[in-house]
Amino acid sequence: MLAQRYIELARTPISPEAKTGTDVRYSAEFEAIEDELAKSVSLHAQDVDWNKVRENSETLLGSHSKDLRATLWLTWSLYQAEGLPGLEAGCAALATLCDTWWEQLHPTKSRTRIAALNWFAPRLEQALGSLNNITDSQREQLKQVQQHIQALAELLEQHFAEQAPDLSTALRTLKQLLQEAPAKPPAATAETAAQITPIRPDLPTNITSKTVITDQRQAHKALRALQEQSRPLCQWWLHANSGDIKALRLNRCLAWLTLDSLPGHDAEGQTSLRGVPADKLNQYRERLQQGQHSGLLADLEASLGKSPFWLDGQYMVWQCLQGMQLNAAAEEITQQLAALLQRLPGLEKLRFFDGSPFADQQTQDWINQQVLCSRASQDVPTLPIGESTSSTAWDDGLHAALLTLRESGFAEAISQLAASTREQTAGRDRCHWQLAQARLCLHARQHSLAQAQLEALYQQLQQQGLDQWEPQLMTEVVACLYQCCDLQANTAELQNRKRELYQVLCHLDLERALQLDGS
């Protein structure tokens, strides 16, 4: 009997000396299970190998640790592989494990145990909610599931009180299923088998010109299908022509297409997202040091398609392209990433669930010196409205500083502009040079520095009455200050400041105010 096998697995101690074994959080089997389960919740959802989850969970429970998380994963993998009989066996193992080893069970922290059970509870509800037309044989299996879940619920309430994971919905569903009249088994064998088929995410299907999309779910499914279908195309392009810009462009377009906001994170910038496994990351770094640029590029692109927030990988791709002297392709990487970072400011400061950064210090230096400047150096600074479009000394100085920013970094670029500012003797010219410094700070995403410079310049113009004599200059300062506030975190103080600046800008130049409001 399947259930009896897993009851024995849960009940048998690991060893006479350490009956519940040790914490296996950082074991190879544990990490392999986590990596496998992560496939179903990644941006590009993939099939989970439930047999692999089952085998690794059994190994942990039988040889290493009586671990609650491994038992929950085992239960769900059994359901995915065996249907209702698997769910019965898994619930039997779960109830036995908790009843036998609760005081010594791993993990030891109550918070971690509750989190693991809260992961399982909605999945159990989903599995039970999919059942109907129950046969007599299934009824007996459901009775066993009910007994195990009831025993587990009572144990959890005893130990966790009001914090106990909620299993009441699952128990109500079980009660309703058992109250239904049994279905006639002969005529419904195939149908019943289909009804208890384990729940899996819808697999992407091919999208054709005849496909009709009628709701958001279908739209999401169609996008996933496009993402899946693009992978072999991108890989083929890269193998046929290393550094093919079409492949680089398409991979990033589809990976970042739906990213409209930063992923959820705590105050320290830590998210629940998983990055590239450490062993794979080490292999990538070794291959990069060995100069295996072409082969590494294809593998990096495959990983980046599944890990859109892994910015270190973007830097490694850029290094590969530089190593192959494919400058146009390298420029494509910086342009695409610059657009993403402009859309999601602060993304490079976030971290994965284990504390590893989206972008380490080397990658952040590259972002500041190459990526952000790749776009900045192409921007033409806005000229004061109403003045000649002929180039001025401060405009030329800003253009030169943007090139320095790209080649040598922010410190040297701002030093270059500051030196020119100190050379000015006329107050008006000095103000224009100070505005150029603030614009450089904005290009380099040094928003707090830009705001400090602009606020000081704004007060200076007001105190000296230059807002009346130099309305174009004042307009530029206010507009830049408004944009600077808009680019920073959305606090109440900044919102109030933006409203004040907008009113001033409406008075100075209504057309410019409307342009900013529309953007």
Q: Using one digit for the tens of pLDDT, what is the confidence trace for 240-254?
A: 888 899 999 999 998
Query: Is residue 508 within 8 Å of residue 474, measured between CB atoms?
Result: yes
Is the pLDDT confidence value at 310 over 70?
yes
pLDDT, tens digit, for every residue of 276-302? 888 888 999 999 999 999 889 999 998
| DSSP per-residue letters across 140-168 | HHHHHHHHHHHHHHHHHHHHHGGGS---H
Residue 215 corresponds to which tokens in the numbers above?
């709701």
**Separation between Cα atoms, residue 24 and residue 455, nearest integer Å:** 55
For residues 190 and 169, give the distance between their C-alpha atoms in angstroms, rounded to a whole number.
28
**pLDDT at 140 > cutoff 80:** yes
Query: Using one digit for the tens of pLDDT, what is the confidence trace for 353-368?
Result: 888 999 999 998 888 7
Examine the pLDDT at 99 and tell me if it is beyond 80: yes
The pLDDT of residue 211: 64
Contact in structure between 197 and 213 (CB atoms under 8 Å): no
Extract the runs of DSSP E, i.e. beta strands, from 188-277: none
Least confident of 182-191, 204-213, 317-326, 509-518: 182-191
**Which residues 6+ apart lie within 8 Å of 193 measured at CB?**
83
Per-residue pLDDT at 489: 66
CB distance 322 to 366 below 8 Å? no
pLDDT for 379: 43
pLDDT tens per residue across span 327-356: 889 989 998 999 999 889 889 999 998 889
Q: Residues of 310-346 as b/e, b for ≥16 C-beta within 10 angstroms?
A: bbbbbbbbbbbbebbebeebbebbbebbbebbeebee
Task: Report whether pLDDT(25) > 70.
Answer: yes
Task: Tell me the average pLDDT of the chain.
Answer: 83
What is the predicted pLDDT for the residue at 517? 63
- The number of angstroms, rounded, from the C-alpha of 287 to the middle of its chain's C-alpha atoms is 26
Tell me what pLDDT residue 208 has: 55
Rounded percentage of the chain residues whose pLDDT exceeds 90: 31
For the chain, the C-alpha Rg in angstroms (whole number) is 30
Domains of the chain: 2-195 (no CATH), 217-376 (no CATH), 393-518 (1.25.40)
pLDDT value at residue 189: 44
Question: Over 70: is that where the pLDDT of 518 sits?
Answer: no
pLDDT at 181: 56
Per-residue b or e along 209-223, where b marks 16 or more CB atoms closer than 10 Å to that residue's CB: eeeeeeeeeeeebeb
User: What integer pLDDT is reported at residue 142 of this predicted model?
Assistant: 93
Considering only residues 184 and 470, tell me which one the structure prediction assigns the higher pLDDT.
470
The per-residue pLDDT for 498 is 84
